[in-house]
């Protein structure tokens, strides 16, 4: 918990620091980009609930020793007041001591820029989005091993963009994502939530 609080304070300090650079951030237009998140803030968790044939809860397990990485390719448009809307193709990989999960999803994300806090090439933002797709579990003691299940999730973030040159900028920030899964076949089990809190890095290139 202390590490998580310190990380929040660090990011907040970065957002309000009067850092200066020579150029303003990108103007309106389309861009391509890549985002990745693999450094944990706190502990990722996997909650699994398994139901019997009548739909009654049979067992519940929570895994906290989780290793995960997210990365996504995006196409976006920067518009009014330097806000951004993005279409993201996202890949998610999660491993525990008893099994692993891989997922491929597509989603929409929106970044709201705080232009009143802009300082030189530094621009703070907050973001939110949702995504859906398919996922596959392996080695878990469940009926859904090696079967595709439906997935749906949301993410929230905050951070800052740094304008490198006329066409390229980078970003760093905090990202929380929560992914839920539909009913599994046969056992009617469902992964209710995979929660992640991570440091996110990204680059974008304006077309």
Q: What is the pLDDT of residues 99-138, one digit of tens each?
A: 888 999 999 999 999 999 999 899 999 999 999 999 888 8
- Can you name the CATH fold of 2-206? Porin (2.40.160)
Q: What is the pLDDT of residues 65-106, one digit of tens each?
A: 788 899 999 999 999 889 999 999 999 998 888 888 899 999
∠ CA 202-205-207 to the nearest 5 degrees?
A: 150
């Amino acid at each position: 918990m202390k590490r998580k609080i310190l990380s929040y304070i660090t990011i907040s300090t970065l957002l309000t620091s009067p850092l200066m650079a020579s150029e303003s951030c990108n103007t309106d237009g389309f861009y391509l980009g890549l985002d990745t998140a693999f450094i944990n803030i706190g502990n990722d968790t996997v909650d699994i609930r398994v139901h019997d044939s009548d739909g009654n809860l049979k067992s519940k397990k929570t895994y906290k020793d989780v290793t995960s990485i997210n990365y996504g390719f995006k196409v976006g448009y920067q518009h009014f007041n330097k806000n951004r809307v993005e279409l993201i193709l996202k890949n998610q990989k999660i491993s525990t001591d008893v099994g692993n999960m891989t997922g491929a999803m597509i989603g929409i994300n929106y970044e709201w820029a705080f232009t009143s806090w802009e300082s030189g090439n530094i621009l703070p933002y907050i973001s939110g989005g949702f995504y859906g797709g398919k996922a596959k579990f392996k080695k878990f003691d469940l009926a859904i091993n090696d079967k595709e299940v439906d997935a749906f999730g949301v993410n929230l973030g905050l951070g800052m963009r740094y304008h490198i040159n006329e066409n390229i900028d980078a970003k760093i920030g905090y990202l929380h994502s929560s992914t839920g899964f539909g009913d599994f076949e046969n056992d009617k089990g469902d992964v209710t939530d995979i929660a992640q809190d991570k440091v996110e890095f990204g680059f974008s290139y304006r077309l």
